[in-house]
Chain A
């Protein structure tokens, strides 16, 4: 087994490339811009120190920003999301605690848990991101609609990827 640090770094590169080269070029009817790279934060192990969580969020956010030429936009949103992750995990804890040796995956905790987990965090991330992008309050409902549709689409992609990639890791 490859060690977890290099595995996560490898996953980060793959997600950045996929986001920049494929997803950034997708636009469905002007509302839906999927941001799937947040999957990286979702999949970090439970034992990740919390400061490392923030640094990872900063790192992947700024990489996406550098490609998309929007310095600071994705960075702030992803750091925000990384900050909220421990609290969301605390609220969503299935039994008393997360057993050691498990990862925040669909495979370990089931579909419903993973759906809730990704939906909450992706929604928070997208809300922060889209409002920072628009930077005004006049388009409130229009932006909200974009947030919701994009969230649904991103979560759909994230869950789809879980079925495709992680099923064989038994």
Chain B
């Protein structure tokens, strides 16, 4: 016992250091959802990889059927898409008309807090579940795409910004409808990257990039920005740099978009994957 005490006194500096580090790291893991998710990812990585391997091989068997089903459903959704409209009412507002199926709802909200100078940027809006905002709704400004709602309280909602290393959205070139995956590389708050555009496509400086609507979070055709630089970098894909049309440093009012048929599309897509 006395020896133990002596060791504790002798090494108190190291022991306190370890205790404080453990406290702060556990704060970090509990508080920041992102770090928490990364932590869990490490363990899920191993099991997930095995499942993916199995899934990859079995998915081929039903690929053709799934493709047809999705193409049909996409055509149907695109027809419906033309009939979206926006309203500036405070509450989400639906019109129940037997001839027109409304696809998207809009409501306006004010940005009350945001950052642009971190690697994982978020915004806070002044409206929450009390006006019907729910996670996974899209957020746009008149100038273009802003982000996606991640969590809501009664009065507020937090939005994962386009300027976040974890943010991905499906986007396409307006002139020829080729789509790719849009993400931020953490460097400049005015520029984002577009991947997965095959190299045989003609891409010019100044081409407009818009949302594809495939994710059903954003309607099709919302502007994101213009191509500022493109080069083929190894492989078969372009490395495209995009100037954002939104100035994140001067955001005040944004619009939140709710999709009425998102649930249906997700259910369908997931049933197609099985």
Contact = CB atoms under 8 A, between A and B. Distances in A.
B32 A142 contact: no
Interface string B3-31: 00000000011001100110111111101
B82 interface: no
Given A54-B16, A135-B34, A30 B24 contact: no
B235 to A, nearest CB: 17
Contacts of A62: 24
Interface in B26-57: 26-29, 31-32, 34-35, 38
Interface residues of A, number: 34
Contact of A27 (B27, B116, B165): B116
A73 interface: yes
A72 B27 contact: yes
Contacts of A79: 17, 20-21, 24
Q: Interface on chain A toward B: helix, strand, loop, or mixed SS?
A: helix
- A-B complex: 8 closest residue pairs judged by Cβ atoms: A72-B28, A72-B27, A27-B117, A75-B24, A76-B24, A71-B31, A50-B13, A83-B17
A132 interface: yes
Contacts of A132: 28
A58 B20 contact: yes
Contacts, number: 80
Nearest to A25: B117
Nearest to A58: B20
B188 interface: yes
B112 to A, nearest CB: 13
Interface in B86-123: 116-120
A62 B34 CA distance: 19
A121 to B, nearest CB: 15
A135 B116 contact: no
A168 interface: no
Given A51-B16, A135-B34, 8 more contacts: A30-B186, A54-B13, A54-B20, A58-B23, A71-B28, A75-B20, A75-B28, A133-B118
A16 to B, nearest CB: 17
Contact of A72 (B17, B31, B186): B31
B12 to A, nearest CB: 6
Contacts of B31: 71-72
